[in-house]
Each structure stands twice: as structure tokens, then as C-alpha cells.
Amino acid sequence: MKTSTHNRRAVLRSFGAAAMLLTAPQALGQAAAPSFGVGVLYCGDRTDFGFNQAHAEAAHALAGLPGLRLEERENAAGTLAAMAEELVGPQGCRVVIVTAAGDALPGLLAQADAHRDTVFLFSGAPLDRDRLPVNTGFFEGYLDEAQHISGIVAGYASRAKTIGLVASHPAPDVLRCVNAFALGARRADSATALRVAFVGEAATPQQIAEAARALAEGGADVLAAQLDGARPVCEVAEAHGLMCCGLHTDLSAFAPQGFLTGAEWAWERAYAETVSLIAAGKPWQHLRQGGFDQGFVRNTAYGPAVGVEARAHADAARMQLANGNSAVFRGPIQDNTGRTVVAKGKALRGNDAELGRMVWLAEGVTEVGR
């Protein structure tokens, strides 16, 4: 397996350079304006080539905002509320962005309630706004749309008609993306089968790689993922001469020969627009939801193995999703037991509550070990 030059040290250097820009005066000799502090709490490593790095890239894209000061705290899981208090108090941050609140949400909401001059922004599905402090907001991106496009590309690429996908756990948000990928693959080729290995939320990179190798040995010639860090999956695919799809951030460097595309978050717009409005004292949206239509998700540039027909189908499907003329979950859809789960003529849009209650796997999807 080749060692990638895109290592943690290189990424940290680029993040460090961006951080210098965040506090630099706008012109030589010009006094720096009073800084507007923005804190970011990452639930893991901000250079994880996954979920947290997608947020870090958006945070550093704020460099163009004059007078902005960025404060970052990584690997904050388990201490989120305490770190939030430190960002608000000693650091004086006016905005605190939390990448994944998890079980710490009640404590974070208590911090927000106690510090009404600071805005707390959370990534994830929104809660009942009537019960939340007025200085809180939520970003929710429909990553299933980008996974659906990746699935279309993978469906064209798989000659074995078998795709392997490593996922964290069968929660509704995970199943939504797994099924979206499967529907895309089967819309490209209805004979395609998707084999899913659930490895748990706390799986190590080694365990993820082992699951990916098992899927490859089981006959999959395309590998994909739906978990916080998909890098090991792409590395295994490249080592085995297989094709792969990335997740969260651009992972093409880890599979230069077999990379197809990937489903990425695109938080730059949401971050910049919301922080700019808050800094200016203007009204801002407390709930921002969307997929391709809002520019909150995207697909990684196609790799060399993606053919003309696959590109055309994927591009057309993306356009249909972006302009609202289509939906990932449009009936009829059956689960893998033959039960109709989305009726003919029905479409589940991105904010449909049914998607948050998903418990099924789509037709053609098999869970490894079951």
C-alpha cells in the first residue's frame, strides 16, 4: 500500500496558515479591528479525513471575513459542555459551532441558555425550536443525496455487480444514506447487490479496514462507506486493485487508480452566511436544511475510471435533485424482505419525518453476517 503524502502534518500546516489569515490585518500598517471570536468544538480529530475535517475545512474558509478570530478545540467528546464554557468565557467567542453534540446536548443547551450573547450552532437534525434557547441554531445537510449519486456511479463501475459498504450502525440517519447509495446503484443496474458490514460507532481504523477486506474477499469490486472515517476503506480498495467511493471529504488521494467519486459535506456557505449575519447583528436563520439545492452537499470530482455514460446519468440525477424535480426516495420502493416501504407515486423529500424513522434496508441490500 502506498503511503499518502496527504498526511496529518501537511493538513495541519494548511490549517495553521489559514488560522494566521483569520487574525491578520486587512492591509499592511492597518490596525487590526476588534476580533469576533468563533469557536469550533470537534467531536474528534479535525484532520480525520472524515466528518470532523469537513467542518474544519468550512471553518477555515471563514478566513475571508475581516476581524474574525477562530478558536478550535478537537477531540472534545465527553467534555463538550466544559469546553464550550471555556470558549464563551475566557476566549470570549460570540459563536460556538458544535460538530456533533451527541449525549452532551443538554449540557450545551444549558450553556447556551446561560450565555444569551453567544450563538450556539449545531450540526445535525433539528429539535423542537419552541423548547430551545433563542440563541441556538441547527445545520442539517442531506448527505443521502450525494450518496445516491455515488451509488449511481458505483453501479456503472461494478462488473461483479456486487458492492461492499462499511457502515457504523443501523440508526435511521445511517440507513438513510446506505439505502440512498443502494437505490442509486440499482438505478444504474438493477442487478447490482449491496453487501453492508456494520462495525459499530466506536470501530477503529483497523477494524474498518478488516471489514473492507472481508467485503473485498467476498466478491465486491467496489467499496464504499457510511461512518465517520472512510479513509481505511479507500486504502483497502486501492491495495486490492478495486474501485471505491469516498465520504465526508475528498479522499481521492488515497485511491488514485480506483477512486470513482464521493459524498462530501459542503458547510462553507452555511458557515460563512450565518456567521456574517450574526457578526453584523442582523437576523439569521435558526434552522438551515438542504442538500444540493442549498449547496450543503457535493460530490467529489470523478476519478479516471468513471465512464461517459455514468457521468451523464449521475450529473442528470444531481440536477434533478438540486432543482427539486426528483427525490432519492421515490416510490415504489421495496425493502429487502419484499415489503413496500414507499408506495408508488409517493416521494419522501429531504425533511420528511419518515426518513428519521427508517428501520429497513432496501431491496438488493444484504447485511453481512445475517
The H or E element spanning position 71 is strand 68-73
The H or E element spanning position 51 is helix 51-60
User: What percent of the chain stands above pLDDT 90?
Assistant: 83
Provide the grid cell at 163.
Answer: 458492492
Q: What is the C-alpha to C-alpha distance for residues 317 and 171, in angstroms, rounded to an integer? A: 26
Residue 112: Cβ-neighbour burial (10 angstroms; 0-12, 13-18, 19+): buried
Question: Is 90 exceeded by the pLDDT of residue 369?
Answer: no
Provide the grid cell at 13.
Answer: 500546516
- 206 — pLDDT class (breaks 50, 70, 90): very high
Q: What is the C-alpha to C-alpha distance for residues 148 and 125, in angstroms, rounded to an integer? A: 19
Helices (H) and strands (E) in the chain, counts: 10, 17
Question: Is 90 exceeded by the pLDDT of residue 326?
Answer: yes
Q: What is the C-alpha to C-alpha distance for residues 353 and 333, in angstroms, rounded to an integer? A: 17
Please compute the mean of the pLDDT values over residues 328-339 and round it to a whole number.
98
Task: Confirm if 215 and 173 have CB atoms less than 8 A apart.
Answer: no
Q: What is the C-alpha to C-alpha distance for residues 46 and 44, in angstroms, rounded to an integer? A: 6
Question: Is 60 exceeded by the pLDDT of residue 2?
Answer: no
CA 61 to chain centre: 17
Q: How far is CA 95 from CA 3, 36, 123, 219, 230, in A?
A: 38, 9, 14, 48, 29
Give the HSE-up count for residue 352: Cα atoms under 13 Å, Cβ half-sphere.
Answer: 15
Question: Is 50 exceeded by the pLDDT of residue 271?
Answer: yes
Residue, of 144 and 126, whose pLDDT is higher: 144
* pTM assigned to the model: 0.89
Q: How far is CA 145 from CA 183, 205, 229, 320, 321, in A?
A: 11, 26, 19, 11, 7
What local confidence, expressed as pLDDT, does residue 370 receive?
58
What local confidence, expressed as pLDDT, does residue 263 receive?
99
- Say which residue the cell 462553507 belongs to: 268
What local confidence, expressed as pLDDT, does residue 1 receive?
40
* Torsion over CA: 277, 281, 283, 286 (sign): positive
Question: Is 90 exceeded by the pLDDT of residue 339?
Answer: yes
What local confidence, expressed as pLDDT, does residue 128 receive?
65
pLDDT tens digits for 27-52?
Answer: 323 434 458 999 999 999 999 999 99
- CB atoms under 10 Å from CB of 135, counted, come to 18
What local confidence, expressed as pLDDT, does residue 12 receive?
46
Question: Is 80 exceeded by the pLDDT of residue 17?
Answer: no
Q: What is the C-alpha to C-alpha distance for residues 359 and 349, in angstroms, rounded to an integer? A: 17
Average pLDDT value for the chain: 90
HEC letters along 88-119: HCCCCEEEEEECCCHHHHHHHHHHHHHCCCCE
64-88 core/surface letters (b: 16 or more CB in 10 A; e: else): ebeebbbbbbbebbeebbebbbebb
Provide the grid cell at 9.
Answer: 502534518
Q: What is the C-alpha to C-alpha distance for residues 310 and 255, in angstroms, rounded to an integer? A: 19
pLDDT tens digits for 65-107?
Answer: 899 999 999 987 788 999 999 999 999 999 999 999 988 899 9
What local confidence, expressed as pLDDT, does residue 127 receive?
67
- 277 — pLDDT class (breaks 50, 70, 90): very high
- CB atoms under 10 Å from CB of 8, counted, come to 12
